[in-house]
Structure 1
Amino acid sequence: MAQISIIQKADISEAGRFDAEYFKPEYAKLKQLFTKINTKPLLSFLEDKIITGHTPSMSNDANYGGEIKFIKTDNLRVNFIKSQFNHYLSNAGDEVLNKTRLKKNDILITIIGATEDVVGRVAMIDSDILPANINQNIALIRVDKNKINPYFLNIFLNSKYGRGYLHSLARQTGQVNLNCREVEKVLIPNFHQSFQSEIEKTVKEAHQKQSQAKQLYQEAEALLLEELGLVDYQPQHRLTFDALKSEVKEVERFDSEYFQPKYFDIINKIENYSGGFDVVKNLLEFNNKNFFPKNEEFYHYVPLSKVSKTGEINIDKQELGIALPTRARRLVKTGEFILSSISGSLETSAIISKEHNNFIVSNGFYVFSSENINPETLLILFKSKIMITLLQRISKGAILGGYDLTAFEKLKIPLIKPSIQTQIAEKITQSHTLRKQSKELLELAKLKVEQEIERN
């Protein structure tokens, strides 16, 4: 539906903007609201001006391959950093970007993206992300802590008012982008220090629960690996080895990688596991039925990109069936398990809990359940290094390649003892509960800030 805004010539001159998007009624209403509360421009709270990173030369190998996380647009999500990094900088590469070397409590914002949804994402750096640096699509906001609480600022920028303000400044060219100097002019509520400290306390409690959740998840991983005798296992890639002609003929694979001895080492471990083993075909029941969304009904759709490293499904919006991609073809039920079949995301898997019942997932996932292995153990098992290595073995093609059901059904998996499965389930259930509580606390912090703005 078309919108019309009537503005004064002086408004255009003051803003230095001629694009209609900048003068949308909802943005004008938001900025009018900010004239009624005590605010200051963001720049007045900063240690230094907002700057962006850049990308060290990719042709110079010396810049990469170290342990310094290189944060790009795909990593910076709404109020968190996705910890699956495509590149790591070396010390030399980090030195090239020494001005944007990150510190705890730095605030990052995406300033370039394909859509408005990508631009204006904000997250604060915690110590577990460090050492890290940023590329040219990310801007660094470093505050003077004597002037503003960084926890409060981060939550404000993630609130509906903060995000709305940032989106009002975005420009649509080939891509959507934000200008660092304009971001410095964003008006920030100058609330009392006691209120800002209250927000900090809520956020720190959320972070503590997140850390506890991470610890429980790691304990579940360690429990599985210890049970399988693979705690310190490191696959050894060998340059020379042999394979029998009969083996090549049986699997109809002629690529040498498939016959790497490291795969047989893992298979031997599985076959010798004291709890026994079986093949996927005998242990898993697959949900392969196609579902066709109705055009005028709303659905929650889960693409591969919306599942986190630890198996969280990050979906909060519904979409009309007519707007869903053709890959939206699997209707999932509580207790089922989803596992990526795509080479570039083999670690992507999740449990379908009660809150995800009747969600639609991409047909890039295999959907299954098991009477012999509980969903929590399946999660830890299929995210383990040993199973990802075996999935890599049966995959064909590059990033968008994958493995077919026939090959998957022949995969051998250990029948983890029931007592171990119970312990794993308890830890993963507690972990997911803590993660949920952490998210709720962060939402509560945002709500407090929004209500304070409205109250004032």
Structure 2
Amino acid sequence: MLDGLEIVELRLSEVLEGNDTQRIDSEFFNKKSLYFDKLLKTKKYFYLENVVSGPFGSTLKSHSYLDKGVAFVRVENLKDKFIIKKDTLVYISDENNLLLKNSQLFLNDLVMSKVGNTIGLIARVDEEIGTCNISENNLGIKLLNFIDSEKFYILVYLNSLYSQNLILRRISGNAQPKLNVGDMKKIPIPVVSNSFQLKIQELVKLSQNKIEQSKKFYSEAENLLLTELDLLNFKPSNENIAIKSFSESFEVSGRLDSEYYQPKYDEIIDKVKSTKYDILDNVVNIQKSIEPGSDAYQESGIPFVRVSNITKFGLSSPDIHLSKTLFDDEVLEKLQPKKDTILLSKDGTVGIAYNVKKNTNFITSGALLHLTIKSKYKEKIFSEYLTLILNSLVVQMQSQRDAGGSIIKHWKPSEIGEVLIPIIDSKTQTQIEEKIKKSFKLKEESRQLLELAKKAVEMAIEQDETQAKKLINEQI
């Protein structure tokens, strides 16, 4: 009768230990979490004391966000883990930051997501950010009283298998899962030697250096492209008046909204037309994906990548999956992006492009188009070059023109097909592609160093520091 059931027998004292809310649900007392907790407590350990929550939602509204000021970290900035993503950062004023001083964080403090299906994403406040504040959906972990090596060790430990399991164990709520400040103060952190902490710190800093080098190569590729197109110092016009005849406007575009005809868009089009170019529809095959609806979403199965999972620098792991039973093998084969497929967002945040580096096992939402270079252009346009063009101001301004004027942005595939693509010489394209590939190689090396740091921390817990240090020395 009990076949397949997981049963745990505990004393009342064990049930109540570290259980202030007196939970008795099976998720809280699953065998793996109990084992991890017991293992960690066989060692010397400590708890975090200075954990704060982001401000209540009504305290700060989105209209308070600025383009510069004090960085305001939201959940979407944590999706790379370890590192706060800068490309989607918003800012708040010094005055608002002062009003929210309780949740203000400083260099080497940590930010952690606490709500929904993203709970447990943890990243460090780095030198570039320095001082920041956090949204209501995040926790702040203040590490002022720890030395630097301890701070880096805590960062890696909290991202490790052991900590992540114990963090997720303490989630409460069904409709909207959440983690409270008190929950985070119950996660045991094993004490390790300073020499081991320094090893972990070294790995994280090496990883950070790789990221900085990666950004440098990507920036060089962007500058090389813009120089070639004579757009390096391009400043769009601020003029907001344009005089157009009927034949130059509605008859051609079918648009009557004034935003579409801003002079800055004409300027970028004229720049492209002064070079060799073609429309995107002639360059690539454009394939639509699917949108199965939220009823089909589940926690396991085929990974389902949405716009929120994509940036020009890579893909984050999706938290939504689809059942394999929804697709036969032939359909699945067509839907899963192959190497050098370019994913391009057309809904929400439009115009994000990412070149897939290898054959994949995921499916994308209908908001992401799949672009593959046509055979006639295979030798003339390289995939990394085309991806860079799509992410550059050349195409971004065209997408702003086409998809602007609405609350929820939608870039029509018909409009995307008409986008102008400049075609430069193969030699310069090769130089650009080499820089892009170096950039992504360094990014992957950075990720591997963080994985090594996590593995070493886990080995120190499972075995000992000697074996963990040996692992590090063998791989760097």
Query: How many angstroms does 1:161 deviate by?
Result: 0.2
Give 5+ residue unaligned stretches, structure 1. Answer: 44-48
**Once structures 1 and 2 are overlaid, which stretch shifts more, 416-425 or 178-187?**
178-187
1:56, CA displacement in angstroms?
7.4
151 and 347 in structure 1: CA distance in 2 versus 1, 3 angstrom threshold: farther
Report the more deviating stretch, 240-249 or 432-441.
240-249
Look up the equivalent residue of 1:403 and give its one-letter code: W
1:125-204 alignment to 2 at 5 Å?
125-143=125-143, 144-146=145-147, 149-204=150-205
Q: Which residue in the other structure is 2:355 paired with?
A: 351
Query: Which of 401, 405, 415 is matched with 2:423 structurally?
Result: 415
Aligned partner of 2:472 in structure 1 is none
Identity %: 26
Structure 2 Cα separation of the partners of residues 200 and 374 of structure 1: 39
Question: For residues 94 and 201 of structure 1, what CA distance do their matches in structure 2 show?
Answer: 32
SS of the aligned residue for 1:222 comes to helix
Contact 2:284 2:371 in 1 (8 A): yes
Residue identity opposite 2:48 in structure 1: L
Counterpart of 1:85? 88
Distance in 2 (CA, whole Å) between partners of 1:314 and 1:289 is: 18
Q: What is the aligned counterpart of 2:309 among 282, 306, 311?
A: 306
Counterpart contact for 1:56–1:93, Cα < 8 Å:
no
TM-score, normalized by length of structure 2?
0.84
Task: Give 2:120's aligned residue.
Answer: 120
Deviation at residue 181 of structure 1 after TM alignment: 2.8
Cα distance, 1:97 vs. partner? Answer: 2.1
The aligned runs of 1:378-397 (5 Å cut-off) are 378-395=386-403
Provide the rounded CA distance (Å) in 2 between the counterparts of 1:209 and 1:400: 36
Aligned partner of residue 33 in structure 2, secondary structure: helix
> Deviation at 1:62?
6.7
CA RMSD of aligned residues (A): 3.0
Partner residue of 1:72 out of 71, 74, 81: 74
Cα distance, 1:22 vs structure 2: 1.8
Q: Specify the alignment match of 1:281 in structure 2.
A: 281
Q: In the aligned structure 2, how far is the partner of 1:139 from the partner of 1:433?
A: 32
Q: Once the two structures are superposed, what CA deviation does each residue of 1:277-302 show, in whole Å capped at 9, x if it has no partner? A: 11122222334587999x9x964443
Distance 2:201 2:288 in 1: 47
Aligned pairs for 1:179-258 (under 5 A) are: 179-246=180-247, 247-258=249-260
Q: Does the 8 Å contact 2:289/2:369 carry over to 1?
A: no
Q: Aligned equivalents of 1:103 and 1:432: distance in 2?
A: 29
Q: Distance in 1 between matches of 2:113 and 2:259?
A: 39
1:22 aligns with 2:28: yes
Q: Against the structure 1 CA distance between its residues 184 and 37, is the aligned structure 2 distance closer, same or farther, given a 3 Å change threshold? A: same
- Which residue number in structure 1 is paired with residue 461 of structure 2? 453
Q: Counterparts of 1:42 and 1:205 in 2: how far apart (Å)? A: 26
In 2: Cα distance, 1:403 partner to 1:385 partner = 16
Distance 1:322 1:89, change over 3 A: farther
Deviations 1:100-156 (A, max 9, x none): 333221111222x123xx112211111123442112222221222349611111100
Gaps of at least 5 residues in structure 2 are: 465-476
What displacement does 1:99 show?
3.5
Change beyond 3 A, Cα 1:346–1:59: closer
CA apart distance, 1:91 = 2.0
Per-residue CA deviation, residues 248-298 of structure 1 (Å, 9 max, x unaligned), is: 12221111111111110000000112xx111122222334587999x9x96
Residue 423 of structure 1 and its aligned partner are, at CA, apart by 0.8
Secondary structure of residue in 1 paired with 2:224: helix
Quick one: which amino acid aligns to residue 438 of structure 1?
S
Query: Given that residues 68 and 92 in structure 2 are in contact (C-alpha distance below 8 angstroms), is that contact kept between their aligned partners in structure 1?
Result: yes
